[in-house]
Amino acid sequence: MITELRAMIIGSLLRELAARLGAGTAGRNLAAVAGELADELIDQTVAGRQ
């Protein structure tokens, strides 16, 4: 089980990665996957359920 703090940190890092990858044409698909993973991780926390 991942702690909420870790989920928030990992989610933030994945969103940052998505933002950086999304700038180039080749990275858009990978950026979308990273963004979806971030959303799923954060949604599993109390902060995401609000």
From first to last of its 50 residues, the chain has per-residue pLDDT tens of 568 888 888 888 988 888 888 777 778 888 888 889 888 888 887 766 56
Tokens standing for residue 40? 């799923």
Q: Note if the pTM is more than 0.75.
A: no
Residue 14 CB contacts under 8 Å (≥ 6 apart), including other chains: 34, 35, 37, 38, 41
The DSSP letter of residue 24 is S
Q: Report the distance separating Cα 13 and Cα 38, nearest Å.
A: 8
